[in-house]
Amino acid sequence: MLQLQRLRRLAGANCLLRRHSATWRSSPQNASFAEVLQLEDKKLTGVVFPLQGLERYLAPGVNTASFRTFSPSLDDIHRAEALFKPSGRHVIDYFSSAVRMDHAPQLSQPEVCFVGRSNVGKSSLIKALFSLAPDVEVRVSKTPGHTKKMNFFKVGKYFTLVDMPGYGYRAPQDFADMVEAYLQERQNLKRTFLLVDSVVGFQKADHTAIEMLEEFGIPYVFVLTKIDKASKGLLVKNVLEIQDFAEKHTQGCFPQLFPVSSIEYSGIHLLRCFIAHVTGNLPMMNS
């Protein structure tokens, strides 16, 4: 509680600074953690820890231990945000694209990649993660039949984020050609984020991706997108189904899933912190 009060005081000062600078640059509401810290407690929990925010909608006796597998302090979340904010020497930017693995840039820093069906909300999520670096251009290719690319974003010297082509009915070949080769060959890949739409749940193509990740022994984590669109009942149902699936049928999947809304910024701050953690940029004691 004390920590929250101290952070809120600090955040209040930051918000004043932000209001001053809003004339030349503004980012969407709740994009920065300082703003989130101004929310009242219940709202704050829902935005920062959306899984924990769902607990009050669960039937009594439901085991929620896996909801807190990754449970950083507010301080950790605050510290992690610095990675996603550009400054003089910390440059965050689009780096390059590739359509084949032999065109992929040779980068030795830790890497994370984002995969998911077309339309799952991948570009929106990457934009939300980078919302504090408004100069970063997240390129989107939505034209059917147009070759999709792997897009590499460098986050200073700390890590690379890779946006993989969306899979599904529009681009089955891109997925086989690019994603499979990337997953098999990329030595510095630390974690794959597999996006699932919270309204429609798992689809057949998601299971194909899961099989591939399991077969290659790649560590991955589920991200449940567009949670502002799903009713609480549907969200709880899909969360419990996916957590249950992860626990019983997977080896390489992180037991906790990450629900996000790229519109309301729910889960975005926690996800930034998890990325900082898995890329070795935020050592923490209890995770």
- Tell me which residues touch ligand GDP (CB under 6 A): 116, 118-124, 166, 225-226, 228-229, 261-263
Spatial CB neighbours of 254, under 8 Å, sequence gap ≥ 6 = 69, 70, 191, 219, 220, 221, 222, 246
User: Rounded to whole angstroms, how far apart are CA atoms 73 and 84?
Assistant: 18
CB of 140 to ligand GDP, least distance (A): 6
Closest CA to 132 of 280, 284, 272, 277: 272
- Within 10 angstroms of residue 85's Cβ, the number of other Cβ atoms is 11
Q: Which two tokens stand for residue 78?
A: 């605050």
Rounded distance, CA 57 to CA 53, Å?
A: 8
Whole-number minimum distance, CB 102 to ligand GDP, in Å? 25
123 or 238: CB nearest ligand GDP: 123
**Closer residue to ligand GDP, CB minimum distance, 91 or 98:** 98
Token digits of residue 195? 């996006």
Q: Which is closer to ligand GDP, CB of 50 or CB of 121?
A: 121
Nearest approach in angstroms of CB 274 to ligand GDP is 17
Q: How far is the CB of 226 from ligand GDP (least distance, A)?
A: 4
- In this complex, which beta carbon is closest to ligand GDP, that of residue 180 or of residue 228? 228
